[in-house]
Amino acid sequence: MALIEKAKSLVHPRNTLNDLPTVDWLKATRSWFMMRPKGRGSKISHPASFPEELVANYIQFFTKKNALVLDTFLGSGTTTLVARQLQRNAVGIELNKKYAELSQERLNEFPENNTKQLVINDDSRNLKKIFKKQGIPQIDFCITSPPYWNQLKNKGLKNTVDRSKSRKKLNLDVDYGSNSKDIGMIDEYDSFLDAQDEIFDKVYDLMKPRGYLLVVTNNVYKGGRMWPLAFDTVTRLSKKWVPKDEQIWCQDSRRLHPFGMFHSYIGNRAHHYCLIFRKE
């Protein structure tokens, strides 16, 4: 993990947000960063997991120990696992039963401590009902990565085709499945944004005042044009959440493909947007 929590004596006495020394706080505010994910191990079965180091960096910046972290699209369980390692409580919601079970298996491999992590197989649109039923208190921080619209079902781009072929050879999933409740199955762009809004509205209502939301997303190239998913996410969520900033996660190790070679420009997307919001 890039950010290692230092002795409490190095934390500034006015620091009410996290347990980081001043020098690590400053480094964490750069507007872009490069990160090459390490070996994925068991989580490789999930088609779009994000690296533990990224989750660790944000959890350490936006919370103190024993805080409550939420991930509304848990996937392979990186957030709940890292939360346990960093002594944070966590709730992870995952619609796909297979991935929820994988998340629990990964969590079980790490020793328990004085914090609690819950993996819940359910739809994040039921968030308020879940919290009420489980008696879960207000959230300190939410970090998550929704589907990039229905990009994993975009069969037209060469990198998607190549990726699907290589994963199929290994008998790995190439998308999130066929559950009709999965917002990544929604074909109409505005309808997808509406579904995403619904979830983050519920997160807002369950968040403590001045708590942060971190959304990892991207713009999408489909049908010969770019769809500004990341930008529209900021616009939509700004109706309730206060947008604070963005950080660009650059992937300089991504393979380049000759999209539109010799006749038109089609970019090789090698970055993600980490969008930062706060409840104020």
How many other CB atoms sit within 10 Å of the CB of residue 46?
23
Rounded to whole angstroms, what are the CA distances from 113 to 206, 264, 266?
25, 55, 49
Average pLDDT, stretch 98-112?
Answer: 95
Nearest to 148 by CA among 121, 180, 183, 124: 183
How far CA 51 is from CA of 31, 77, 153, 265, in Å, comes to 18, 11, 22, 30
**Does 139 fall in a domain?**
yes
Task: Domain of residue 56: give its range.
Answer: 25-34+45-253+265-278
Tell me the average pLDDT across 187-197. 98
Q: Which two tokens stand for residue 68?
A: 């409550």
Is position 166 within any domain? yes
Does some domain include residue 258?
no
Residue 248 has pLDDT above 90, yes or no: yes
Task: Encode pLDDT of 266-280 as tens digits.
Answer: 999 999 999 999 999
Please state whether the predicted TM-score (pTM) of the whole model is above 0.75: yes
How confident is residue 11, by pLDDT bands cut at 50, 70 and 90?
confident
Q: Compute the chain's Rg from CA coordinates.
A: 19
CATH of the domain at 79: 3.40.50.150
Residue with tokens 């620091």: 15
62 within some domain: yes
CA 271 to CA 33: how far, in whole Å?
10
pLDDT of 9 higher than 80? no
pLDDT in tens, 44-75: 554 556 899 999 999 999 999 999 999 999 99
Total domain count, the chain: 1
**Per-residue pLDDT band at 255 (split at 50, 70, 90):** confident
**Residue 8 belongs to a domain:** no
Asked, for residue 59, whether it belongs to a domain, the answer is yes
